[in-house]
C-alpha cells in the first residue's frame, strides 16, 4: 500500500500535462473529468496509503520512498524522494480531499469561462506542487514544490488576465512571496553549508548534534526559513498580497488562499521544528508575529465590505493562530488548527462563491441580504462554517482546535499577553464571522438570483460543513473526556510532548469558559450591531474616534501605503532614471560609434577632386613625418 | 666646377615640389592643376639628377629620361580628359565633376 | 659654377611662384616655361648637359606647347579670368601653404640630420653615357616607357574624340558653325548644353 505513495503527486501532475498539452481540444466534460478525476484518484490513493500507514505503521513512524537521484554535484546529492510520516499524512489527506471537493465545485462554477482547461490545468499543477512540497524528503524538493505553488498562485490569481487589476494582484502576490522565497533560499544555502545535507531528517539530526541551543547558525537558519514561511503564509510583514489575491476566481481563493498554499509556511516550520527549537529567539518571534497578525487582520476583517476580502483577512488571522501555536512549541495544535481551518475556510469561500455567482458577481456584503430563504443549503453550510470559524463551543471543529491552541499558549512559558491576544482575537473573529452571516443572509430578501447552485456545487458544501463539525472530535481536551487521537498520532512526527506538570483540570476549565464567553460574546455583539440595531454600527464608524480607526483597519493598517512609499516608488524612480539603461551603454555605444564613423567617413566622399588631392597630400605628409621622426 | 652640396639641390627640389603641391590644392581650374602637377614632376626629376650628380653616376639622368616619358604620356591623356570635361560640363571647374559623391 | 646654380635656382623658385598665382592660363604657362628653362640651367650646372637639353626640348618645347594648344582650343575668353579671381581668395592659400611648409620642414630636418657628403667633382654626363646606360642595364625600362607612350597616345586619341562624330560629319560641322557664332556674337552655346551632350553619351553606348 505504501508503495503507492509516488502516485499521489504524480496523478495531478499527469492531469496537468494532459490538460496543458491537449486541453484546448477537449470537450468540457472530458476536461472536467481529467481535472477532477486526477485529484480524486489522488485522494483515493491517499486514503489507501493512509489506511496502510495507520494499520501497519512502518519502523520509526516514517516511510521513505526514493525515486531517483536528482543531482550529484560535489557531495550534494538531493534525491527525488517522498517521506511519509503522520504530519505528511495529515497534510496530504487534507490537500487531496479538500482539493477534490474544490475541483468538483469548480466544474460548475467555471462552466461559462472560456479558459476552462487552463483553469483545471493550473489547479492540477498546483495540487501536484503542493503534494510535492508536503511529501518532500529534502528541502530542495520542498523548495521545488514551494516555487511551484507560487507559480500556480500567480497563474490563478491573474486567471482573468485581461483585467489589469487582476494582473497587478498576481504580480504583487508573486513579488511579495518572492521576498520570502529569497530569504528561504539563503536559509537553504546556510543549512547546506553548515550541515552538509538538505535531507530533512538527517539535517535535523546533524543540527541537534552540532548546534547549541540559541547559537548563531541556528538562529540565522531559523530566521531565514521563517522569512520564507511569513511570505507564503501571508503574515506580518508580508501579508499585503493576500487580500488583493482575491482577484482570482473563488475556487482558487478557496483552495490556494485558504486551505493549502498559505499553510505551506506553517508546514515548513512544523517540518523543520528541530531547527526552530534550537533557536528560541526565533520561536518567540514566530509567536509574536502570529499574535500581532491575528489581531491586525481581525480588526481589518471587521470593517471590510467585500465578502472575499473579509475572508482573506480572516485567513491571515487564523494562520496567525497557527503561527502563535508554533511559536510556543505546540506543533500538534498548529497542525490540528490547520486541518479544521482548511475545512471551514474552504467551506466559507465556496459558499461565498455560490452567493457571488447567484448575485451575478456582486461581492459587496452590504448589497446582499436575505438570502437565507433563497439559498437554503448555502445558508446552512455558511452558517456552520462561520460557527466553526468563531469557535462556537462543543459542536464545531474550530472550537476544539482553537481551544487547544489557546490552552497550549497559556501553559507555555510565553507571556500572558500572547494568550490575551488570542482571546481578543477570538472575540473579533466571532464578531466578523457572524457579521458576514447577518449581512449576507439576513435582512430583506429582494434579489433576483442569477444562478442556483447545482449538485457539483452543493455537494462539496455539504461535505465540508459536516467535516467542520465532526472534524474536531478527534482531539478532545481533558475537560471533555481527554480523547487524544490526533496528538497521539502526531507523536510519530514530533516526538512525545514535553512532560509538563500541567495545571489542574480546573485551570483548563476556566480557560475554556473564557474562550466560550469570547465566542458567544462576539456572536451577540454581531447580532446587536447588524440585526437589532443596524444604525449603531454606522454611528460608531462615523464617530470622531471611529472614523480614523475604520479607515485604518479598512486599508489593512496602511501596509500597502507604506510599502508603496518605501519600496515601489523608489524602485520605479530608479527604473525611470535608468530608462536609457546605463549598462546597455557599452554595446549601444559601440554601435553608435560605428554609425558615427560611418556617417563621418561617408561624408568625405564628396566627389570633389581637390578634397581628394588634399587628403592624399595630408596623408603623405603625415606618413613622411612618421618615417622621419621614427 | 666645384661641388654643389647635395642638400641644397635637394632643398631646391623640395621647394619646387612644395610649390607644385600648393598649386594642385589651391587652384580650381583643371588646367592649373595639371600645370602644377608638371611642376611637381619636374621637381622630382631634379631630385634624381641631383642624386645622380652626387654619386657621379649617370643613373640619375636615366631616371630623369623615364620621368620625362611619363610626364609626356600623362600630359597627353590629361589634356584629352580636360577637353572631355569641358565638353561635358561646359566649365573647367574641377568641383563640377563631383558626381561620384557618396 | 655655383653662381649659375644659385641664380638659376632663385629664378626657378620665383617663376614657379608666379605660375601658381596667375589668373590667366597663358601667363602661367609662360612663367612655367621660364621655370623649366632655369631648371635646365640647374641641370647643366650639376653636370648633366644632355638632360638640360632634353628638358628644354621635350618638357618646355613639346609638353608646354601642347598645353598652349589645348588652352587656345578651349577658347575660354575673359570671363575665366574673372572666375579665377573669384576662386582665388586669400583664405584658400593658407591650408595648402601650411601643408607644403610642413613637408619642407620634414625635408629640411632629414637633410640637416643626414650625413653630408661633400659634393665631388661633377662628372659631365655625356650623351653617349646616358645612351649606353639606357640600352644597357635599363633596357627594360626603355621598352616599358615605349609601351607607356603608346598607351598614352591611344588613350589621348580615344579620349579626345567627340561621341560618334567624325571630322566630316554633319554634326561636327554644325557644332563648328556654332562655335564660330559664339565667337562672333558671344552667344551662349544654344543646343550645346550639358543635357544634350549627356544624351549623346547614351547613344554612343
| pLDDT tens digits, one per residue of A495-508 | 776 655 556 677 77
Do A9 and A24 belong to one domain? yes
Lowest mean pLDDT among A320-329, A533-542, C102-111: A533-542
Interchain CB distance below 8 Å, B28 and A607:
no
- Kindly report, residue by residue over A20-37, the tens digit of the pLDDT: 998 888 888 999 999 999
Percent residues over pLDDT 90 in chain B: 50
pLDDT: which is higher, B74 or C78: B74
Do A621 and A556 belong to one domain? no
Do A484 and A348 belong to one domain? yes
Q: Which residues of C touch B65 (CB under 8 A)?
A: 51, 54, 130, 134, 145
pLDDT: which is higher, A120 or A262: A120
Do A468 and A609 belong to one domain? no
**pLDDT-based confidence at residue C195 (cuts at 50, 70, 90):** very low
Distance CA A168, CA A183 (A): 23
Of the candidates A602, B84, A151, B49, which has an alpha carbon nearest to the alpha carbon of residue C130? B49
Gap from A567 CA to chain B (nearest CA, Å) = 54
Residue C122 in 3-state DSSP?
A: coil
Interchain CB distance below 8 Å, C148 and B80:
no
Do A528 and A558 belong to one domain? no
pLDDT recorded at residue A182: 94
Single out the residue in A482, A512, A541 at which a domain terminates.
A541
* Contact indicator for A70, A80 with CB cutoff of 8 Å: yes
B30 interface with C at CB cutoff 8 Å? no
CA angle, residues A338, A211, A321, in degrees to nearest 5: 20
Interchain CB distance below 8 Å, A605 and B95:
no
The pLDDT of residue C164 is above 70: no
A-facing residues of B in 7-46 (CB < 8 A) are: 21, 24-25, 28, 33
pLDDT: which is higher, A158 or B97: A158
pLDDT recorded at residue C45: 87
Estimate to the nearest angstrom the gap between the alpha carbon of C9 and the chain centroid: 19
* Contact indicator for A319, A291 with CB cutoff of 8 Å: no
The pLDDT of residue A518 is above 90: no
Q: Which three cell numbers stand for residue C70?
A: 589645348
Q: Which three cell numbers stand for residue A391?
A: 469557535
pLDDT recorded at residue C168: 52
Phi then psi for residue B53, to 5 deg, are: -65, -35
Lowest mean pLDDT among A286-290, A371-375, A502-506, C140-144: A502-506
Interchain CB distance below 8 Å, C102 and A621:
yes
Mean pLDDT of A60-82: 85
Query: Which ipTM value was assigned to this complex?
Result: 0.90
Gap from A585 CA to chain C (nearest CA, Å) = 39
- Kindly report, residue by residue over C32-69, the tens digit of the pLDDT: 999 999 999 999 888 888 899 999 999 999 999 999 99
Partner-chain residue, chosen from B25, B28, B99, that has the shortest CB–CB distance to A607 = B99
The pLDDT of residue A564 is above 70: yes
Whether residue A316 lies inside any domain: the answer is no
**pLDDT-based confidence at residue A99 (cuts at 50, 70, 90):** very high
Q: Which residues of A touch C103 (CB under 8 A)?
A: 620-621, 624
Mean pLDDT of C90-116: 83
Give alpha helix (H) positions in chain C: 2-21, 25-45, 49-54, 64-74, 79-87, 91-113, 127-134, 139-160, 170-185, 194-204
pLDDT: which is higher, A62 or B69: B69
pLDDT recorded at residue C193: 44
Largest alpha-carbon pair distance within chain B? 57
* Contact indicator for A345, A246 with CB cutoff of 8 Å: no
A609 interface with B at CB cutoff 8 Å? yes
pLDDT recorded at residue A490: 78
Interchain CB distance below 8 Å, A609 and B25:
no
* Contact indicator for A385, A344 with CB cutoff of 8 Å: yes
B66 interface with C at CB cutoff 8 Å? yes
DSSP class per residue in chain B? -PPPPHHHHHHHHHHHHHHHHHHHHH--BHHHHHHHHHHHHHHHHHHHHHHHHHHT-SHHHHHHHHHHHHHHHHHHHHHHHHHHHHHHHSS-BGGG--TT--
- Kindly report, residue by residue over A340-360, the tens digit of the pLDDT: 999 999 999 999 999 888 888
Distance CA C109, CA C128 (A): 37
Of the candidates A233, A450, A242, which has an alpha carbon nearest to the alpha carbon of residue A362? A450
Average pLDDT, chain A: 87
**pLDDT-based confidence at residue C123 (cuts at 50, 70, 90):** low
Gap from A154 CA to chain B (nearest CA, Å) = 57
Contacts of A185 (CB under 8 A, 6+ apart): A143, A228
Do A499 and A561 belong to one domain? no
Per DSSP, chain A holds a count of helices (H) and strands (E) of 28, 2
- Kindly report, residue by residue over A421-478, the tens digit of the pLDDT: 999 999 999 999 998 888 888 877 777 777 788 888 888 999 999 988 888 887 777 6
* Contact indicator for A266, A207 with CB cutoff of 8 Å: no
Residue of B20, B27, B82, B100 for testing the chain A interface, max A β-carbons within 10 Å: B100
Please name every residue paired with A199 in a beta bridge, in sequence order, or none if there are none.
A138
Q: Which three cell numbers stand for residue B33?
A: 592643376
Average pLDDT, chain B: 88
Distance CA C198, CA A382 (A): 97
Interchain CB distance below 8 Å, B53 and C116:
no
Q: Given the C-alpha cell 512540497, which residue does it identify? A: A133
* Contact indicator for A466, A348 with CB cutoff of 8 Å: no
Whether residue A90 lies inside any domain: the answer is yes
Do A391 and A512 belong to one domain? yes
Whether residue A325 lies inside any domain: the answer is no
- Per the structure, how many domains does chain A have? 4
* DSSP annotation of A23: G
Do A264 and A148 belong to one domain? yes
Mean pLDDT of A498-527: 78
User: CA torsion angle for C91, C94, C95, C98 (degrees, to 10)?
Assistant: 180
Q: Which three cell numbers stand for residue C42?
A: 640647374
The phi-psi region of residue B91 (left if phi > 0; otherwise alpha if psi is between -120 and 50; otherwise beta) is beta
Q: Which residues constitute the domain of residue A49? A: 1-184+235-268
Whether residue A309 lies inside any domain: the answer is no
Interchain CB distance below 8 Å, B97 and A610:
no
Interchain CB distance below 8 Å, C102 and A628:
no
Distance CA B88, CA C176 (A): 16
| Cβ contacts from B onto C, under 8 A | 246
pLDDT recorded at residue C204: 42
Whether residue A197 lies inside any domain: the answer is no
Residue A67 in 3-state DSSP?
A: strand
* Contact indicator for A468, A344 with CB cutoff of 8 Å: yes
The pLDDT of residue C189 is above 60: no
Mean pLDDT of A548-557: 83
C102 interface with A at CB cutoff 8 Å? yes
Distance CA A100, CA A106 (A): 10
Contacts of A397 (CB under 8 A, 6+ apart): A340, A343, A344, A388, A467, A468, A469, A470, A471, A472, A473
Partner-chain residue, chosen from A605, A609, A617, that has the shortest CB–CB distance to B94 = A609
Q: Which residues of B touch C54 (CB under 8 A)?
A: 64-65, 68
CB count in 10 Å sphere of residue A350: 32
Distance CA A283, CA A275 (A): 10
Q: Which residues of A touch C102 (CB under 8 A)?
A: 621, 625
The pLDDT of residue B64 is above 60: yes
Signed CA dihedral, A386, A391, A394, A398: sign only: positive
Interchain CB distance below 8 Å, B56 and C76:
no
CA angle, residues A295, A296, A300, in degrees to nearest 5: 115
**pLDDT-based confidence at residue B1 (cuts at 50, 70, 90):** very low
CA distances from A32 to B54, C30, C55 (A): 108, 108, 108
Gap from B64 CA to chain A (nearest CA, Å) = 22
Residue of A624, A626, A627, A630 for testing the chain C interface, max C β-carbons within 10 Å: A624
CB count in 10 Å sphere of residue A605: 13
Q: Given the C-alpha cell 465556496, which residue does it identify? A: A350
The pLDDT of residue A308 is above 80: yes
Distance CA A276, CA A333 (A): 16
Do A54 and A140 belong to one domain? yes
A607 interface with B at CB cutoff 8 Å? yes
Whether residue A209 lies inside any domain: the answer is no
A601 interface with B at CB cutoff 8 Å? no
Gap from C120 CA to chain B (nearest CA, Å) = 5
pLDDT: which is higher, A273 or A539: A273
**pLDDT-based confidence at residue C171 (cuts at 50, 70, 90):** low
The pLDDT of residue C191 is above 50: no
Do A415 and A531 belong to one domain? yes
Partner-chain residue, chosen from B4, B65, B84, that has the shortest CB–CB distance to C45 = B4
Q: Which residues of A touch C95 (CB under 8 A)?
A: 614
Residue of A611, A619, A621 for testing the chain C interface, max C β-carbons within 10 Å: A621
Do A562 and A621 belong to one domain? no
Interchain CB distance below 8 Å, B92 and C80:
yes
Q: Given the C-alpha cell 592659400, which residue does it identify? A: C93
B33 interface with C at CB cutoff 8 Å? no
Gap from B22 CA to chain C (nearest CA, Å) = 5
* Contact indicator for A252, A157 with CB cutoff of 8 Å: yes
Interchain CB distance below 8 Å, B83 and C118:
no
Please name every residue paired with A78 in a beta bridge, in sequence order, or none if there are none.
none
Q: Which three cell numbers stand for residue C16?
A: 614657379
* Contact indicator for A483, A328 with CB cutoff of 8 Å: no
Phi then psi for residue A628, to 5 deg, are: -65, -40
- Cα atoms in the Cβ-side hemisphere of radius 13 Å centred on A609: 14
Distance CA A142, CA A139 (A): 5
Q: Given the C-alpha cell 486526477, which residue does it identify? A: A38
Do A449 and A564 belong to one domain? no
Whether residue A193 lies inside any domain: the answer is no
Gap from C24 CA to chain A (nearest CA, Å) = 20
Whether residue A314 lies inside any domain: the answer is no
Of the candidates A110, A104, A116, A87, which has an alpha carbon nearest to the alpha carbon of residue A38? A104
pLDDT recorded at residue B102: 64
CA distances from C181 to A312, A622, C53, C165, C193 (A): 105, 52, 43, 20, 15
Residue of B25, B28, B47 for testing the chain A interface, max A β-carbons within 10 Å: B25
Interchain CB distance below 8 Å, A625 and C110:
no
Amino acid at each position: 500500500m505504501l508503495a503507492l505513495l509516488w502516485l499521489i503527486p504524480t496523478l495531478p501532475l499527469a492531469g496537468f500535462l494532459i490538460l496543458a498539452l491537449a486541453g484546448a481540444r477537449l470537450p468540457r466534460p472530458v476536461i472536467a473529468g481529467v481535472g477532477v478525476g486526477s485529484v480524486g484518484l489522488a485522494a483515493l490513493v491517499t486514503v489507501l496509503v493512509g489506511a496502510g500507514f495507520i494499520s501497519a505503521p512502518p519502523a520509526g513512524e516514517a516511510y521513505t520512498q526514493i525515486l531517483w537521484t536528482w543531482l550529484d554535484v560535489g557531495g550534494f546529492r538531493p534525491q527525488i524522494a517522498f517521506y511519509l510520516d503522520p504530519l505528511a499524512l495529515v497534510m496530504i489527506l487534507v490537500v487531496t480531499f479538500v482539493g477534490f471537493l474544490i475541483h468538483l465545485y469548480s466544474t460548475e462554477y467555471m462552466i461559462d469561462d472560456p479558459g476552462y482547461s487552463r483553469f483545471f490545468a493550473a489547479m492540477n499543477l498546483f495540487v501536484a506542487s503542493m503534494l510535492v512540497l508536503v511529501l518532500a524528503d529534502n528541502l530542495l524538493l520542498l523548495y521545488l514544490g514551494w516555487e511551484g505553488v507560487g507559480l500556480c498562485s500567480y497563474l490563478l490569481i491573474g486567471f482573468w488576465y485581461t483585467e489589469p487589476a487582476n494582473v497587478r494582484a498576481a504580480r504583487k502576490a508573486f513579488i511579495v512571496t518572492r521576498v520570502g522565497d529569497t530569504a528561504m533560499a539563503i536559509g537553504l544555502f546556510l543549512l547546506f553549508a553548515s550541515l552538509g545535507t538538505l535531507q530533512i531528517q538527517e539535517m535535523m539530526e546533524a543540527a541537534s548534534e552540532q548546534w547549541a541551543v540559541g547559537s548563531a547558525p541556528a538562529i540565522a537558519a531559523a530566521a531565514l526559513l521563517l522569512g520564507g514561511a511569513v511570505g507564503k503564509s501571508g503574515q506580518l510583514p508580508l501579508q499585503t498580497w493576500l487580500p488583493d489575491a482575491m482577484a482570482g476566481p473563488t475556487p482558487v481563493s478557496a483552495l490556494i488562499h485558504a486551505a493549502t498554499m498559505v499553510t505551506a509556511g506553517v508546514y515548513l516550520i512544523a517540518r523543520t521544528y528541530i531547527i526552530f527549537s534550537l533557536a528560541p529567539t526565533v520561536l518567540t518571534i514566530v509567536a509574536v508575529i502570529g499574535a500581532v497578525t491575528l489581531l491586525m487582520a481581525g480588526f481589518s476583517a471587521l470593517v471590510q465590505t467585500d465578502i472575499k476580502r473579509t475572508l482573506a483577512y480572516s485567513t491571515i488571522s487564523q494562520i496567525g493562530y497557527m503561527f502563535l501555536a508554533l511559536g510556543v512549541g505546540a506543533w500538534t495544535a498548529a497542525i490540528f488548527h490547520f486541518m479544521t481551518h482548511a475545512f471551514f475556510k474552504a467551506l466559507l469561500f465556496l459558499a461565498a462563491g455560490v452567493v457571488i455567482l447567484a448575485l451575478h458577481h456582486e461581492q459587496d456584503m452590504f448589497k446582499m441580504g436575505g438570502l437565507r430563504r433563497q439559498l437554503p443549503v448555502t445558508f446552512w453550510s455558511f452558517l456552520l462554517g462561520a460557527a466553526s470559524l468563531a469557535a462556537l463551543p462543543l459542536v464545531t471543529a474550530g472550537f476544539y482546535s482553537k481551544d487547544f491552541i489557546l490552552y497550549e499558549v497559556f501553559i507555555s512559558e510565553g507571556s500572558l499577553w500572547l494568550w490575551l491576544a488570542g482571546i481578543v482575537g477570538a472575540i473579533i473573529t466571532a464578531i466578523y464571522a457572524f457579521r458576514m452571516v447577518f449581512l449576507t443572509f439576513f435582512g430583506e430578501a429582494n434579489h433576483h438570483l442569477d444562478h442556483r447552485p447545482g449538485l457539483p456545487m452543493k455537494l462539496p458544501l455539504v461535505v465540508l460543513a459536516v467535516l467542520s463539525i465532526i472534524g474536531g472530535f478527534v482531539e478532545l481536551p481533558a475537560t471533555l473526556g481527554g480523547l487524544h487521537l490526533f496528538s497521539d498520532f502526531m507523536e510519530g512526527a514530533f516526538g512525545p510532548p514535553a512532560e509538563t506538570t500541567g495545571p489542574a483540570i480546573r485551570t483548563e476549565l476556566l480557560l475554556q469558559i473564557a474562550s466560550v464567553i469570547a465566542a458567544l460574546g462576539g456572536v451577540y455583539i454581531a447580532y446587536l450591531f447588524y440585526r437589532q440595531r443596524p444604525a449603531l454600527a454606522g454611528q460608531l464608524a462615523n464617530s470622531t474616534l471611529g472614523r480614523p480607526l475604520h479607515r485604518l483597519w479598512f486599508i489593512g493598517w496602511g501596509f500597502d501605503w507604506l510599502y508603496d512609499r518605501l519600496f515601489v516608488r523608489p524602485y520605479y524612480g530608479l527604473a525611470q532614471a535608468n530608462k536609457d539603461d546605463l549598462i546597455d551603454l557599452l554595446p549601444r555605444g559601440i554601435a553608435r560609434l560605428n554609425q558615427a564613423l560611418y556617417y563621418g567617413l561617408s561624408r568625405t566622399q564628396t566627389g570633389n577632386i581637390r578634397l581628394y588631392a588634399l587628403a592624399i597630400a595630408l596623408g603623405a605628409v603625415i606618413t613622411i613625418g612618421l618615417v622621419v621622426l621614427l | 666646377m666645384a661641388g654643389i652640396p647635395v642638400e641644397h639641390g635637394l632643398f631646391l627640389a623640395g621647394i619646387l615640389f612644395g610649390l607644385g603641391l600648393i598649386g594642385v590644392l589651391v587652384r580650381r581650374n583643371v588646367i592649373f592643376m595639371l600645370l602644377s602637377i608638371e611642376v611637381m614632376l619636374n621637381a622630382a626629376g631634379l631630385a634624381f639628377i641631383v642624386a645622380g650628380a652626387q654619386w657621379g653616376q649617370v643613373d640619375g639622368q636615366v631616371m630623369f629620361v623615364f620621368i620625362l616619358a611619363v610626364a609626356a604620356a600623362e600630359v597627353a591623356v590629361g589634356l584629352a580628359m580636360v577637353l572631355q570635361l569641358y565638353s561635358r560640363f561646359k566649365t573647367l571647374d574641377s568641383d563640377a565633376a563631383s558626381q561620384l559623391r557618396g | 659654377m655655383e653662381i649659375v646654380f644659385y641664380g638659376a635656382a632663385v629664378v626657378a623658385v620665383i617663376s614657379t611662384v608666379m605660375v601658381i598665382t596667375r589668373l590667366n592660363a597663358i601667363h602661367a604657362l609662360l612663367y612655367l616655361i621660364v621655370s623649366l628653362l632655369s631648371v635646365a640651367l640647374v641641370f647643366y650646372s650639376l653636370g648633366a648637359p644632355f638632360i638640360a637639353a632634353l628638358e628644354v626640348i621635350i618638357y618646355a618645347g613639346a609638353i608646354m606647347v601642347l598645353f598652349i594648344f589645348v588652352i587656345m582650343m578651349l577658347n575660354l575668353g575673359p570671363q575665366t579670368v574673372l572666375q579665377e579671381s573669384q576662386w582665388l581668395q586669400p583664405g584658400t592659400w593658407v591650408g595648402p601653404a601650411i601643408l607644403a611648409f610642413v613637408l619642407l620642414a620634414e625635408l629640411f630636418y632629414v637633410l640637416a640630420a643626414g650625413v653630408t657628403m661633400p659634393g665631388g667633382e661633377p662628372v659631365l654626363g655625356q650623351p653617349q653615357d646616358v645612351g649606353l646606360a639606357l640600352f644597357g642595364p635599363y633596357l627594360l625600362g626603355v621598352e616599358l616607357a615605349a609601351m607607356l607612350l603608346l598607351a598614352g597616345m591611344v588613350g589621348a586619341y580615344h579620349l579626345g574624340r567627340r561621341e560618334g562624330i567624325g571630322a566630316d560629319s554633319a554634326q561636327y560641322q554644325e557644332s563648328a558653325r556654332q562655335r564660330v557664332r559664339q565667337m562672333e556674337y558671344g552667344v551662349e552655346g544654344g543646343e550645346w548644353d550639358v543635357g544634350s551632350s549627356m544624351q549623346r553619351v547614351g547613344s554612343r553606348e
